[in-house]
Structure 1
Amino acid sequence: MTVLDPAATAIRLFDSERDLHFFPIRHHSPACALHLREALRAIRPATVLIEGPVDFEPLITELLAPGVVPPVAMVALPDGAKKGRGGTTYYPICRHSPEFIAIREASELGATVRFIDLPSRHAAMLSDRRHRPDQPLLPMREVMFDRGAYVDAMCARTGFRDGFALWDGLFEARARGTDWRGFFASVGAYCSALRAASDPDELQTDGTLPREAMMRACIQDAIAARTGPIAVVTGGFHTPALIDAQAESVRPAGAAARSNAWLIRYDFRALDRLNGYGAGLPLPGFYERVWQRLIGDGGETGDSLTEDILVGFRAHLIESEPALAFSFPTLRSMVETARRLAELRGLSEPGRTELFDALQSSAIKEEIEVGAHPLLAAFTTYLQGDRLGDLPPGSRLPPLIERARAEARSFGLSLEDAVAKTRELDIYRKSRHGQTSRFLHAMRLVAPPFAERLKGPDRVHGFRADMLMETWTYAWSPAVEAALIERAADGETVRDVAATILIRRLGDLEREGQCNNAAAAFNLLSIAFDAGIGSAADTLVAAVSTAVGADTNLLRLTNALVMGQALDSRAKAMQSDGTVKAFADLLPPLLDRLARRIAELLPDLAAVNADTVGEAIACLAALAEAMADPDPPFPARPLRDALQGLMAAQLDPQLTGAVIALAALIGLVDEAEAGRRLSAALAGAFERPGDAIRTLSGVMALAPQLFVNDSSVITAIDNLFGAVDDQGFLDLLPQLRMAFAELSPQETDKVAAIVAAAHGAGEDDIALLQQVPDARVLTDHLALSERLRGQWQADGLAAWLGPAP
């Protein structure tokens, strides 16, 4: 493969006749940034053209405002229905981004700055086939620097292990040089070779060619309006397509700039190539340290960068991960190894690759898979960095963002970096913790990337409603700010926006034909309660009441009752909060109506058959959970009356067992009466053993203790099995296994002891039963017994067999 001559490339890059200078860069490269700074100071351009979406141009002034601390990002929000992180376009900037240096130097020189790429929301900017839906959209893409035929060939020739190490060795190692022309000529030659090895069809489909058409048109506009030298700063891959371009009369369709862009904070974790970011170099925290050294802003102590990094890493381990910390002699060995590796590889000083190699050879003695050792993982995280940029007060941001940040800080939540943190909240006994919980719940609605609840009361099922503590993990990140920007039109406070979201979801239920879904409506009400949204309560309660009156699905209604009961319980435990009390006062009439609606529909269970009995039993199980409260927040009498009526009705056998169990659980009948009813039901199904097992299964689903505690029920089941032959027993065995699956091991042992005693078996016999084979093995053994019986009878040995079964 031919490598272009850097000297020839330099002639093309710096056109003195047209006073037009092209600077091919790699995004976020400290070497490119430093050489670009020197080049711009030398040529003093009147216009600086930068590869960046044209609709981001109004943000240039904000980017240069005092108090802006990179990393930051220019973002463009989706205009249509596509929302979320995957639909937002990000253009990140850090202190060592060549684009940031170009903007800053142009400002100091009084030059005009223009962005020349397509608008951020143009179809060609969104067409990268490698983009994942859960990742941000990025107009800067540099995967061609990482792999491909040319990169592989260069790595094989030079001995570098991959495209990142190759770039570092060829270009980052030359950052301290003074020949900016020679540096960019080499970068240009390298990028021309990358371009020559690329697939032309892919350049069309991934949006590269339409973008370059836009850039050429903008360059021609600048030439036509020139007032002095022009500098063009673009990704090196694009430069060959721009140098010798002729004027183009037509820009790509849809190239008119549209501004829906904002400047937000960004962080090194999101900027890392190892986390899926499509441009720049891995571990931006490392290159930030390199940049500080290059510009003399590293707070030098006289030590080398290698020493600073490795000493700092050791101190970090001692403080945060002492089990991984290494000794001082090992540290000295690492520093020396990194220096010698750099000399061996012809580098002026160790780079990122040399640091990792030195760490692995000096501090890790055992054999490992590449990248699998925890010490290497810790070093990767350390060099990645956790810096979160900042914007000055008064930045052009929606009020929602600043109010969300202020409220988070008021609750003691740390927003200084993007590292995930954990917070324990005593939500019932500490008022401030309860307020913090409601803020975090509201943020889950408004900006989901911010917080996740790991533990806490289960507001949907209610069985953990009395849990006192919540555990949260949270982190302020660029995705959080982007989410808040997207919601800014919905309100100026987190709770106002959360209320808007819930009202909108209520509308979605109606559009989806779910406005009569009591469980879905109650779920929205529960979310509103958790988030402390009093402003949406009246509207949501009215919608829930309407849904309760119209819903005919018993499972949804009983699930709603469980949610409502849990909600009432939590509200009573937090009555000290005025907002919660006002919310709680709305619940009793709603729960009253819900209970009466369920009672009204319970008689319909008489029409349930075997195909639909599963849902009916789930309804009764939810009702059992709700009515277990000795003082429920709803009227129990209508429900008890309706269940009394069901007990007298002719029901599906499985439902019969469940109704008997529920009646015993809520005290409608005592356990003795429940046992008698169950024994009678089993006796009535004597001719239909399958129905008897289904009756037992219904009991087991709700109250297996009724079966365990009543010997008459066990006797009835035992008699039932005694009346069926071997094949009949095998046919019933799968159903029986499912029914008994509800029993605990202790309950199973208790039943076994009662049955064994009834048949005169002792403890030794019971011990043998602990090794019961599965159904297939038992079938094989019975078949073998029958064959042996037939053979013995044929041999005249029938008397040995005893009485026939």
Structure 2
Amino acid sequence: MSAGTFEALRGQLHEAATAFADGPGALEGILRGIVDDVDRAVREPLEIFPVCHHSPASALAMARRLRAKQPKVVYLELCEDMAPLLTELRNCRLPVAVQAFAGEVVGFPADWSPLSVVAPITEASAEYQAIAYALDTPGVELVLVDRSSDHVFQWEARDEHPAAPGESADSDAPHGEDGALHGDAVGVEIGDLRPRFAELEEHLLRHGRVRHWSEWWHQYVEVPLGDGDHDTYRQVMLLIGSLFRRLAPGDPGRVRVDEDRERYMWTRIRAHLTATGTDPADGLYVCGAFHAVSRVEEFGVHGTDTFTISPPSGTTWRHGLIPSSHAAIEAQFGLAGGSVSIAAAEWAKNVRRTGVKPFRLAGQAGTKKQGRKAVLPAVPAPSGAPADKLSGFLGRPPALDRLDEAELLGWSVDIVRAARRNGYLASTADAIAVFETSILLAGMRDRAKPTPYDFQDAAVTCIEKDVVPGRRDVRRLVESMMGGDRVGQVGYDALPPLARDVHDRLAPLALKLQQRGVQRALLDIASRPELEACSDVLWILRHLLPHGAARPIMGERRLGERPVQESWDLALGTHQRALIELGYEGVSIEQVLEQRLRRTAYDPRATTGAVLETVEDALLHLRSRRLADELGTRALEVLARERTVDGAPEVLRRVRRLLAYHRTHEPALPAWIESFVTTGYAHYCTLLPTAVTDEDATVRQVGAMLGFLFSMEGLALSLGCDRTQLELAVAQSRPEDPAKTALLWAARTHLGTLSRNELRTRCAGLLGNPLVVPSYPRYLSGFLHALEPVPALADFVVEAVSQAFARLPDQVLLPWLPSLITSLRSGGTELAPLLIREADRLFPARLAALDAWTPPWEAPPSPVGEQGAVGPHPGRGVALLAAHPAACDALAGLLGCDDPWQQAPAATSRGAALLGVHPATGEALAELLTTG
């Protein structure tokens, strides 16, 4: 193109600047600079094809240009490390996203992990047209020239702020499950074309009479360029890119990243041209319009080679394809809700209207099978240099599209039908109203033909009114009618080995696992033992995948138990992205689970309870004694360095479960469990005096400590621990909190340093002291938590609660009842059944017996003393022993009665001698024999 191609346009802009700005100046500099940018890009020997992200006009122009030019090399603005994955697109149903993933980072901040970069691809995008053309045309090479995924984060770290996707999301951007298909990944766009100057975007929206940027682009760029020739399209896109670039705010970090990307791409392009000897005239450079008008010195085939590309970091990147959706693209890149669906509908309409044959990968899901790859027929290129098309385009009034009444009428009928299915009381009158309102809104916005956005506003106004009876509002119904939130799918052949292995191992279930939605799987393992392997896979997936991917409905997995029947709700197709990302961590789900368990156990912030949970999971899901022993040793290390009792309840619960499993399924306890019990015994004995006075330690945590000490006492003593250490720890404990005080009383009762009569006397004293009565409910809370370490006190706790209900005044009792209920619900869930069973044993079973019932704690004391007072008939045991002297002799031996025998005329046995030593017992026995 000659240097004077745009001289006429420069003259017009000079006159406009003089008129509007009262003389040439800054405005003229901007306007003339824009023309210079367009001129420079058009004169470049390597043809630059500017595009906009997911723009139907760009895709249509790309298809036309590829058939006309037939380039031998296509340079594409996409992360260069994603190139090997593009051939797998033919095994997927679009939209999908190419992903680079790194679970462990090297050279980046640790809190950025995991790193993820995605590049979504839809059929209505110029990049897909270029990829399909290059991969299915013999002799054509596709070269990705943008920075690698590693450099994306290298440059973010250099500018000292992490990349955040969706920085400028519209207010009505979609959210929800499909909107999160990309997760927290950083998005890579081809053609990020949007004003970065907020005032400029606001000005365009206000004067264009539109609500958001997506609508402005559709009305003023998509529609005018849909029928434009190649030169017009190219120059207009370059003009828009230059305008947005020159009016962008001067953010140094963002400008530096933009310019470094352009230097990077041109450096790669020149290196490839030099290495292959390709003629620049046979190539095509596809990039965003923003980067097509770059002003860096490295720009162009003849640019300088002064840019140095930094080496990659030590991070290991894994690549794959993940499913995407229209809503996910909109959410990630800040587009208006439904804009990508409307763009897809516009693309399909333009293809039908213009007759342009788009490129599609052979074997792509949803396409017809094609034969062998054939060379495209040559299309003669236009002769002569392209003319200045900007002057005519900018000076021409907008073309008035004729109203397509049939199309608008069809939309109106379809939306009313969809509204009826979703619970709206819509009628034919509403269809007419939508039709007329669409035309009215288009006229108010200076449009001869209503756009989909005009129709959407009209439908909301005429149908939705004030309520939404169903799950979807009218705006979502219009989006669905225009094409819906199309969700892509990665085919079986494109899945990583781990995902394919999961599908193969679940094949006996005979389900369509790649299908979206929830499917029910019934596993009758008793009659089909081969399904137990499927059960193992499902339980591991439940542990690894997000909630809802594999959810058990019936059946549970416990240590030492084998499954019989199970029922599952599976949604692996919906959570395909999560399953694919598991493949980045290993080659099997067992390997991934083992890695995650180790990562959890060796985390510097791991607690003893969390490590014990990994031990249980290793036994439960992997059945690996080796891994369980390794993680158990790690739990021992974590316990030894803990200085708080926050995790005591969880430690107690899990150690009890692991002990029960090993005692019933192993010939001997593992060495780590024995060490854990002895270490825990000494550890909690040491912490007990401090914990009872620590305000941050709750009564439940102190109760769990005592529960560990008392329940593990027998095993700990057999392994060499000293009971004196526990007795000293309890004796040194001086709690001030009433709940902890009651808990320590219960502990002393268990150790034998406090009798039940003394404990009962202390509680009676509390109820008799008016100053202490308001705090008595807190003592009861302590007794309730004492059931964990001393379950034998259940009858006494029932007695204490009954005494409270009988003697506490209403002003104390009634406010305490809610706290008692919440305490039972939150911290005493496992203790409540024990309390209820004991109350059921003590209280009468029928209402009629309640009047004559006397509580055991109010019954007159038995003559045989406390040791014989068991239940409402305290003397029965003595009579039974007298009737069976051999049993009495055995009992005397168990009680350690080794006193010298006393001779009695009528009693020669040791049992009779024992009764002689205790005359009260003898009298009670005689009375029983007399009355019997």
Give the structure-2-normalised TM-score. 0.60
State which of 768, 774, 783 in structure 2 corresponds to 1:699. Answer: 783
Cα distance per residue 1:763-790 (max 9 Å; x no partner): xxxxxxxxxxxxxxxxxxxxxxxxxxxx
1:521-536 pair list within 5 angstroms: 521-528=611-618, 532-535=621-624
1:626 to 1:469, Cα distance in 2 relative to 1, 3 A:
farther
In the TM superposition, 1:275-314 aligns within 5 A as: 275-277=331-333, 283-296=339-352
Equivalent residue runs for 1:634-645 within 5 Å? none
307-316 or 517-526, which deviates more = 307-316
- The residue aligned with 1:196 is 246
String of CA shifts for 1:485-526, please: whole Å, max 9, x gaps: 4303xxx221222123213433x25xx396xx6423211123
**Whole-Å Cα distance in 1 between the matches of residues 536 and 678 of structure 2?**
31
Mapped partners of 1:259, 1:316: distance in 2: 49
Distance 1:539 1:594, change over 3 A: same
Equivalent residue for 1:154, pick from 204, 207, 213: 204
Residue 137 (structure 1) aligned with residue 186 (structure 2): yes
Q: Look up the SS of the partner of 1:144 in the other structure.
A: coil
Residue aligning to 1:743: 820
1:312-391 superposed matches below 5 A: 322-324=422-424, 326-327=426-427, 329-331=429-431, 333-335=433-435, 337-338=437-438, 341-342=441-442, 345=445, 350-366=450-466, 374-377=473-476, 379=478, 385-391=484-490
The 5 Å alignment of 1:325-724 reads: 326-327=426-427, 329-331=429-431, 333-335=433-435, 337-338=437-438, 341-342=441-442, 345=445, 350-366=450-466, 374-377=473-476, 379=478, 385-395=484-494, 398-407=496-505, 415-416=513-514, 421=518, 439=537, 441-443=539-541, 446-448=544-546, 451=549, 476-477=574-575, 479-480=577-578, 483-488=581-586, 492-506=587-601, 508-509=602-603, 512=604, 518-528=608-618, 532-535=621-624, 537-544=625-632, 547-548=635-636, 551=639, 556=647, 559-565=650-656, 607-608=689-690, 611-612=693-694, 615=697, 617-622=699-704, 649=731, 651-653=733-735, 654=738, 655-660=740-745, 675-676=760-761, 678-679=763-764, 695=779, 698-699=782-783, 701-702=785-786, 709-710=799-800, 714=804
1:120 equivalent to 2:120? Answer: no
Equivalent residue letter for 1:131: A
Farther-moved stretch of structure 1 (140-149 vs 85-94): 140-149
Report the Cα distance in structure 2 between the residues aligned to 1:334 and 1:583, rounded to whole angstroms: 72
Kindly indicate whether the alpha-carbon contact (under 8 Å) linking 1:450 and 1:476 is maintained by their aligned counterparts in 2: no
SS in 1 for 2:91: coil
Match of 2:60 among 28, 34, 37: 34
Aligned to 1:238: 291
Q: Which residue of 2 aligns with 1:80?
A: 105
2:93 aligns with 69
**Structure 2 vs 1, CA of residues 304 and 738 (structure 1 numbering), >3 Å: closer, same or farther?**
same
- Describe the shift of the 1:135–1:651 C-alpha distance in structure 2 as closer, same or farther (beyond 3 A): closer
CA shift digits 1:680-705 (9 cap, x unpaired):
6888x999999988755533555799
Q: How far is the alpha carbon of 1:155 from its aligned partner?
A: 2.5
Equivalenced residues, count: 691
User: Against the structure 1 CA distance between its residues 329 and 259, is the aligned structure 2 distance closer, same or farther, given a 3 Å change threshold?
Assistant: farther
Aligned: 1:268 with 2:325: yes
The 1-side partners of 2:135 and 2:502 are apart by 33
How far is 1:422 from its partner? 8.4
How many Å separate the matches in 2 of 1:378 and 1:628?
A: 64
Identify if the C-alpha distance between structure 1 residues 68 and 617 changes in structure 2 by more than 3 Å, giving closer, same or farther: closer
Contact 1:75–1:88 (8 Å) recurs in 2:
yes
- TM-aligned CA deviation for residue 562 of structure 1: 0.9
Identity %: 18
Structure 2 CA distance for aligned equivalents of residues 592 and 458 of structure 1: 29
- Give the Cα separation in 2 of the matches to 1:427 and 1:278: 48
Conserved in 1, the CA contact under 8 Å of 2:741 and 2:782?
yes
Greater CA deviation, 130-139 or 87-96? 130-139
CA distance in 2, matches of 1:497, 1:9: 52
Are the structure 2 counterparts of residues 708 and 283 from structure 1 closer, same or farther at C-alpha, using a change threshold of 3 Å?
Answer: farther
In the other structure, the counterpart of 1:799 is none
The 2-side partners of 1:647 and 1:22 are apart by 81
Give how far 1:204 is off: 4.6
Q: Secondary structure at the match of 2:186?
A: coil
Checking the alignment, whether the CA contact within 8 Å between 1:282 and 1:384 is kept in structure 2 is no
Task: Provide the secondary structure at the position in 2 that maps to 1:22.
Answer: strand
| Cα distance in 2 for residues equivalent to 1:354 and 1:75 | 36
Task: Give structure 2 stretches of 5+ with no counterpart.
Answer: 1-26, 166-182, 353-357, 359-365, 368-403, 559-565, 788-793, 825-932
C-alpha change, 1:260 and 1:21, in structure 2 (3 Å) is same
Letter in 1 for 2:783: V
Indicate yes or no: 2:229 matched with 1:229.
no
Which one has the largest radius of gyration? 2
| Structural RMSD (CA) | 5.7
Aligned partner of 2:229 among 179, 195, 207:
179
In 1, Cα distance between the equivalents of 2:727 and 2:464? 75
Q: Deviations over 1:194-219 (max 9, x none)?
A: 11101244465561010111223344
Please show how residues 74-113 of structure 1 align to structure 2 within 5 Å. 74-78=98-102, 80-81=105-106, 87-107=115-135, 110-113=139-142
Structure 1 residues 353 and 125, CA, compared in 2 at 3 Å: closer, same or farther?
farther
CA displacement 1:247-279 (0-9 Å, x = unmatched): 121234327899946341321156422x23367
- C-alpha distance in structure 2 between counterparts of 1:234 and 1:598, whole Å: 64
Query: Is 2:310 the counterpart of 1:254?
Result: yes
Do the aligned residues in 1 keep the contact of 2:460 with 2:475 (CA within 8 Å)?
yes
Distance 1:585 1:284 in 2: 64
2:187 alignment partner, SS class: coil
- Give, in angstroms, the shift of residue 177 of structure 1: 1.0
CA drift of 1:651 comes to: 4.3
Q: What SS does structure 1 have at the residue aligned with 2:285?
A: strand
Contact 2:688 2:705 in 1 (8 A): no
Q: Distance in 1 between matches of 2:513 and 2:481?
A: 19
Q: 1:290 to 1:86 in 2, by over 3 A?
A: farther
